Amino acid sequence: MAGLKELRTHLSAVKSTQKMTTAMKLVAAAKLKKATSAIETNKPYAMLIEHAVARVLLEYQKEKIKNPKVRHILPAVFQTKPNPKNYLLIVFSSERGLCGSYNQNVAKAAARRLRDLIGQGKSVSLVCYGKKAYDILKKNHKDKIIFHEPSFASGGIFYDEAVQMFDKLKAFISDGHTDVCEIVCSHSLSALHADISSIQVFPLLKEDIVVDDGLDHVGSAYFDYKDSQEDILQKASEKLVFNRIFEAMLSAQVAEQSARMAAMENATDNAKKMIEELTLKYNTLRQSAITTELTEIISGAEAI
């Protein structure tokens, strides 16, 4: 009967685990829906900010055509050094595990990008948001890590966090420690697939801004500027950087919750299979014990 007791204990533990993984899957699904909704809600704002920047750049192009001698000084976020030496990699990962290979893949991508830049003779620094990537990267690249902070996704994602992140980035830029800043994170392509890449958020590349000839007017009405074009471009370009960071944060959150939901679904399915196997084994052993007891009772009765 000791075997039956052990099986009951094991079966109860697996059922408790199944309840936990099911609950975690539901929580991840809710967070995934919230992050996906935030991305969709942010798209119109992102489009308007990018159009504002592109509109001023279009005006600059037209003025340059009319007067080739005119020179426009672009904001600092557009100023690219001819041969940048100092790179800052910001790595987004999760604060806790139970999300499959998500964190390992992000850390591997960051380490690969780090090696590529060092191979090109660049000086590279790391900033880790999330405990998991930090724990992995510190084993071989601890000297490259400037600081690490908890994952921003722990308590939800807010636009102010992107602004604060850019403020810290500006401090590194003003100190001369950063020429180029890239964010290494996972971008969810679907519920099952994600792409991990490094995106440049500073300086902004003019090639990434789509300048359309029709942006400077609506019908026969042309845009005018209350402040100077330089002031508008300065403010709008900074907001564009904020938004690029914010989009990366949201994409990382979507990818993390997608990975966690898939991992918990697999764990729940495995628990279900294990429960079926343990239940069958328990019933077989129990039936065997009952049969043995009945055989002993019948044998005893015949002996009397």
- Once rounded to an integer, what is the mean pLDDT over residues 164-188? 81
Tell me the pLDDT band of 155, cut-offs 50, 70 and 90: low
Report the candidate in 112, 151, 185 with the shortest Cα–Cα distance to residue 31: 151
pLDDT digits (tens, 9 = 90+) for 34-49: 888 888 888 898 888 8
Tell me what pLDDT residue 205 has.
Answer: 82
Contacts of 91 by beta carbon, 8 Å cutoff, 6+ apart: 106, 107, 110, 126, 127, 128, 129, 130, 133, 137, 183, 184, 185
Tell me what pLDDT residue 3 has.
Answer: 78
Q: Which CATH number fits domain 36-217+227-261: 3.40.1380.10, 3.40.50.300, 3.90.1580.10, 1.10.150.240?
A: 3.40.1380.10
Tell me the pLDDT band of 192, cut-offs 50, 70 and 90: low
Domains of the chain by residue range: 36-217+227-261
Tell me what pLDDT residue 75 has.
Answer: 80
Peptide bond into 203 cis (omega under 30): yes
- Once rounded to an integer, what is the mean pLDDT over residues 189-203? 74
- Once rounded to an integer, what is the mean pLDDT over residues 179-194? 74
Name the residue type at position 23.
A
